[in-house]
């Protein structure tokens, strides 16, 4: 008989939370009782799991000592408000919000730095990085022994689903209004999102950087264990429902051996390499899939020490929910 675990999912009605519950079922995760939790607005809703509808309860009323592991898939404020209660009750925490400092809850991508989990003390606290950092880490990890990366420049064109269901609805509504030549009334976004690109996702700080960009940089450095890596990141909001697409330019210490890079990516877990000439897209390839798609692997036009690539992955699934469940699969071995 397999041992089972009592699992809590906070933010269970959100895009990531709901996908996370689906993946727990798909992967036959050894769930005993599943506690679905959310803020008071969503409490009372229900989410399907193993053929039953599980009722969503208020996180504020939950006794975390009932759970052995909790996924925090709501925003940073919810993590900051309730993760300490979980930890105090001895419940392992997997945070997807980026709210916890790396020293307290190290960001982990199983394909890149699973060994970090072995060094954790109970009660475990670990972070599942932002989708862009996860995507990048999965692809850069297998190249670590092969190329000496001096600098990473990345433009992450992000799907609106990163901002939740309201953002998805608003892109659809704005698009329909424009196609029907009705006046556009932005609501969730502060301007036209349909057939447009927004230069930033969230408010920038005094130096001009958004939280998402800083999170990408810090998490990537932490996961790859390269604290001094130079990273330039711009997160752009694209009129795409699901699936992030990244253009990545790496500056290397020496000319790149493209054949070796292709072989390493082919052999690595979590990556699907698309052959030269063709390329993957969010909608056509990545959405609903468990891998990061990589394509357009090429050196610079006349700089052999430049390595460029195009990456696309399901931001909700591969970039968030699946990574968190994979972390849980590794952590429960140490909860036994």
Q: Which residues here bind a second copy, judged by CB under 8 A?
A: 151, 153, 155, 157, 171-172, 175-176, 179, 191-192, 195-200, 203-204, 207-209, 213-214, 217, 230-234, 236, 238-241, 243, 245, 247, 249, 251, 276-277, 279-284, 295-301, 303, 306, 308, 310, 312
Beta bridge partners, 244, equal 313
Q: How many Å apart are CA 54 and CA 46, to the nearest integer?
A: 5
> Cα separations (Å) of 315 from 1, 157, 305, 319?
35, 11, 30, 4
CA dist 135 and 154 (Å) reads 12
In whole angstroms, the minimum distance from the beta carbon of 214 to a second copy comes to: 6
Pairing relation of β-strands 306-313 and 244-252? Answer: antiparallel
**Shortest Å, Cβ 284 to a second copy:** 5
CB of 156 to a second copy, least distance (A): 9
Of 119, 136, 324, which Cα lies nearest the Cα of 218?
136
d(CA 217, CA 215): 5
CB of 110 to a second copy, least distance (A): 26
d(CA 117, CA 108): 8
Cβ proximity to a second copy: between 6 and 211 the closer is 211
Comparing CB distances to a second copy, the nearer of 31 and 156 is: 156
4 vs 232, which CB is nearer to a second copy? 232
DSSP line for 83-111: HHHHHHTT-EEEE-SS-S-TTTS-B--HH
Phi–psi pair at 309, nearest 5 degrees: -155, 165
Q: Which is nearer to a second copy, 117 or 192 (CB)?
A: 192
In the complex with a second copy, the residue whose CB is nearer, 39 or 243, is 243
Q: Give min distance, CB of 173 to a second copy, in A.
A: 10
- How far is 93 from 328, CA to CA, in rounded Å? 9
The SS3 assignment for 79 reads: helix
Smallest separation, CB 299 to a second copy (Å): 7
State the nearest-atom distance from the C-beta of 306 to a second copy, in Å.
6
Residue 209 or 263: which CB sits closer to a second copy? 209
Is the CB of 251 or the CB of 289 nearer to a second copy? 251
């Amino acid at each position: 008989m397999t041992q089972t675990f009592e699992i809590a999912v906070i933010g269970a009605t959100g895009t990531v939370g709901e996908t996370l519950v689906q993946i727990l079922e798909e992967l036959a995760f050894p769930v005993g009782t599943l506690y679905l939790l959310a803020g008071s607005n969503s409490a009372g809703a229900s989410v399907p799991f193993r053929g039953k509808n599980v009722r969503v309860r208020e996180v504020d009323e939950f006794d975390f000592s009932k759970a052995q592991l909790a996924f925090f898939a709501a925003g940073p404020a919810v993590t900051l408000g309730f993760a300490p209660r979980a930890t105090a009750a001895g419940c392992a925490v997997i945070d997807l919000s980026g709210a916890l400092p790396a020293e307290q809850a190290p960001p982990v991508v199983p394909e890149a730095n699973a060994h970090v989990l072995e060094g954790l003390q109970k009660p475990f606290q670990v972070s599942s990085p932002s989708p862009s950092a996860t995507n990048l880490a999965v692809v850069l990890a297998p190249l670590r022994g092969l190329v000496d990366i001096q600098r990473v420049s990345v433009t992450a064109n992000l799907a609106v689903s990163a901002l939740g269901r309201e953002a998805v609805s608003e892109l659809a509504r704005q698009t329909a209004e424009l196609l029907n030549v009705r006046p556009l009334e932005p609501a969730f976004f502060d301007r036209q999102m349909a057939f447009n690109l927004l230069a930033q996702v969230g408010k920038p700080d005094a130096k001009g950087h958004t939280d998402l960009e800083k999170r990408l940089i810090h998490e990537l450095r932490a996961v790859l264990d390269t604290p001094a890596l130079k990273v330039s990141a711009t997160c752009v909001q694209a009129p795409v429902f699901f699936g992030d697409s990244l253009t990545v330019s790496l500056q290397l210490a020496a000319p790149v051996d493209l054949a070796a890079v292709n072989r390493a990516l082919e052999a690595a877990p979590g990556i699907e390499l698309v052959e030269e000439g063709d390329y993957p897209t969010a909608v056509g390839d990545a959405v609903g899939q468990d891998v990061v798609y990589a394509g357009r692997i090429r050196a610079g036009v006349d700089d052999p020490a430049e390595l460029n690539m195009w990456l696309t992955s399901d931001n909700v699934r591969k970039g968030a929910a699946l990574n968190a469940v994979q972390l849980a699969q590794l952590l429960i071995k140490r909860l036994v």
